Amino acid sequence: MRLTGLAVIAILVSACAGPVRTISNLSAAGGGQVYPLTADQANAVLLKAMLTAFPDSEVERAQVPAPAVRYQARIRFALDSHIIVATAFPTVGLKDGSKAIDGYVFQVSDSGSMPISGANRAEQLSSTLHTELASYGSPLPQNAARK
């Protein structure tokens, strides 16, 4: 009986630990797509995308060193929960192949015990984020020398 109880606890604990996945706008060549935005614009894009993707969840600004920007939302169902995080990292892009332009690369990651619905919501956030970013124009390639 005692061994059965321990086995049930072990199964429940392992079921609640999910993988951490990352969706980013890194290109196949390994360089990021840099959007030439200010810190305020990057913040506004992330916040709008998060509020659009998670209208029924609390969206919180997470603490990261400035000038990076990060927001997260937690979704729940019964005993399961999942955290979806969107981050904007400052970097330098190249305009016309040689002119350095400050901007941001964006990343969406998720983790938790809802691997199917959580992953779907992270993909939805990534799509919403890309739609928001499209209004700011085309991204620039990342400056390989100054990542």
Q: Any idea what the CATH number is for the domain that residue 109 is in? A: 3.30.310
Alpha-carbon span 118 to 76, nearest angstrom: 9
In the chain, the number of structural domains is 1
pLDDT at 64: 86
Within-domain flag for 11: no
Structural domain span for residue 118 = 18-146
Neighbouring-strand partners of residue 34: 140
Is the distance from CB of 61 to CB of 71 less than 8 angstroms? yes
CB 33 within 8 A of CB 140: yes
Report d(CA 69, CA 127) in Å as an integer.
18
Is the residue at 4 inside a domain?
no
Tell me if 79 is assigned to some domain. yes
Residue 13 domain-assigned (yes or no) = no
**Is 130 within a domain?**
yes
**pLDDT at residue number 11:** 42
| Residue 63 neighbours by CB distance under 10 Å | 7
For residue 2, is it within any domain? no
Please report the pLDDT score of residue 4 as a whole number.
54
Asked if residue 77 belongs to a domain, the reply is: yes
Q: Which amino acid is at 142?
A: Q
Mean pLDDT by 10 residues, the chain (147 residues): 49 46 50 87 95 93 87 89 91 88 91 83 90 90 69
Residue 9 lies in a domain: no
Predicted confidence at residue 87, as pLDDT, reads 92
Task: Give the number of other Cβ atoms within 10 Å of residue 130's Cβ.
Answer: 15
